A and B are shown apart, each in its own frame.
Chain A
Amino acid sequence: METVLSIQKLTKNFGKLCAVNQLDLEVKRGQVFGMLGPNGSGKTTTLGMLMGVTNPSSGSFSWFGEPSTHLTRKKIGAVLEHPIFYPYLSGQKNLELNAMIKGANPANIVKVLDIVELSARKDDKYRTYSLGMKQRLAIASALVSDPIILILDEPTNGLDPMGIAEIREIVKRIAADGKTIILASHLLDEVQKVCTHFAVLRRGKLMHSGPVDEVGKGEETVEVMAYHDDLPVLLQEFIGSATIKKENGIFQVMMKDGFHSQDLNKFLFEKGIITSHLITKKKTLEKQFLEILAEAH
């Protein structure tokens, strides 16, 4: 797959503080790449350097295999931190301005306003918009040049649950179009729901990078319940059980490597027990994230 972004040893110092430390990262075409990290872990600083507003202290990066210039940035749609627009201009005029700077076709404006469902309010001044509308206008402005890559930094920050769901839907729709998306967030749930790949940053250092699919791999936990007195004994007997815990009357069986819920189910069935409750619990990104951060200590 074509490499869209390649970062080598990127570093940014603010005085004594090292905000980004020797960061190496690769993003390939078509990925929805989540950048995770606690607040202040260097996500926005990294994106700021990638977008030319923060000067790197050392290291380098390339977009599309070439060193970055302002011309490369025209091909990228980006919203960093919070939406930035001229408050005294209408949404429409702000987008016209964005399109002029990016050299985009102004005809796209109608389309992107439609995507973010702001067509009805396009002639109102930006300062009259609600936070959710501002975030949506920011996404519209990032889309106006029909970019190959979209960079979104905390796009759901400060939104209510409905707003979050709306933005998530928009991101999913854009991803379905085959665009490469880099999404910085501290909302793990959000990243797990929309991203294909993710990286974890902590104090400016890359802690982990890989596909989201792999998060669920590794040992499974199976929740099991049956109306049978011998259940705990049989669970102990099952050769695939690593540990067994009872929580709220339900058994949590941590499986050994190579064993899955169907093996347990088959075993119990052969012993004459029919389960009333059987759930495979994959590890969540949240759990993995906390583990990665814990390992770092």
Chain B
Amino acid sequence: MLHLLKIDLKKMTSYRTFWVICGLYFITLGFSTASGMEILKWIASKFEDFGSSLNVNRIPLYHFPDIWQNLIWFSGLFKLVLSIMVVISITNEYQYRTLRQNIIDGMSRFEFVLSKVLTNLLLSVMSVGMLLLIVMVTGLIYTPELIWSDILVGTEFLLAYFIEIFAFLSYALMLGVFVQRSGLTIVLLMLSHMIEAIIKVNLFRESLNPSIGWLKQFFPLESITNLVPLPFARYAFQEIQDYVSITAVAIALGWTFLFNYFSYLKLKKADI
């Protein structure tokens, strides 16, 4: 297993595009999630220019335990950047035909897919590690009255975040295996949510099928989005789901398995 991961990393670590994209991902992820409070302060200062006041400390954006869901939901937006790296990594293998040579050299097709999946796992773990660090540092800075038990409330979102990233990277990998061209794959990847939304809107028109609305949660991209619900409505006095739903986790894990299995199936049957 480790050997396969090393092989895939060896392909990447001398590839400048890999470092640029991953670097941009972690830097923008880090800075943007960590600087939310500064942005709030800036907004507050603008409010003061107009004579009204906004007490930023009354919005517990960075307070334990809210901070977990807030930052993790926001960080989820960046996974597209990481998934583009995954697409480039797999479509390069088709474009340069190195996939063919890897198999000739004695990799099995299963090992090849596994090496890519392992890299996806590593990238997901690194994202989680990054988030854990940012949450701990900013949470400890901004939480006014620290209650230690509050810190642990919401750590479940870290697990949900891990599944969210890994599921989406698995989806990107599968798309790359099927489409094989980097540009087209990236466009499809970016439009995926839109395409799924169009399908859902047409399938679940209230007038037609009022009773099957619950099926929506089983759609692949919807299932990934459902892992970490949008938290910010709570600051407008609305009820939100502030926990990770077991059903959502189960569905997302099911899709993750299928994405990777489909990649393998496609590769197994193909002449390369």
Contacts and interface: CB of A to CB of B under 8 A. Distances in A.
Contacts of B271: 48, 53-55
Contact of A86 (B3, B96, B104): B96
Nearest to B268: A55
A283 interface: no
Nearest to A74: B106
B11 A97 contact: yes
B66 to A, nearest CB: 44
Contact of A96 (B3, B10, B101, B108): B10
A73 B11 contact: no
A186 interface: no
**What bracket does the count of chain B residues touching chain A fall in?**
20 to 34
**What bracket does the count of chain A residues touching chain B fall in?**
20 to 34
B3 A70 contact: no
Given A70-B107, A101-B105, A53 B7 contact: no
B104 A100 contact: no
Nearest to B6: A100
Nearest to B7: A100
Interface in B51-89: none
A88 B14 contact: yes
Given A86-B11, A89-B14, A100-B7, A69 B108 contact: yes
Nearest to A90: B14
Given A53-B272, A70-B107, A93 B10 contact: yes
Given A70-B111, A101-B7, A88 B106 contact: no
Interface stretch (A77-85, A107-115, A190-198, A236-244): A77-85
A53 B14 contact: no
Interface in A40-69: 48, 51-55, 69
Given A88-B14, A88-B16, A89-B14, A52 B7 contact: no
Interface in A183-225: none
B205 interface: no
A266 B101 CA distance: 59
A178 interface: no
A100 B106 contact: no
Contacts of B10: 93, 96-97, 100
26 contacts: A51-B104, A53-B103, A53-B272, A54-B271, A55-B269, A70-B103, A70-B106, A70-B111, A73-B103, A73-B104, A73-B106, A74-B105, A74-B106, A76-B106, A84-B100, A84-B101, A85-B96, A86-B11, A88-B14, A89-B14, A89-B15, A96-B10, A97-B10, A100-B3, A101-B105, A101-B106
Interface of A: 48, 51-55, 69-71, 73-76, 78, 80, 84-90, 93, 96-98, 100-103, 141
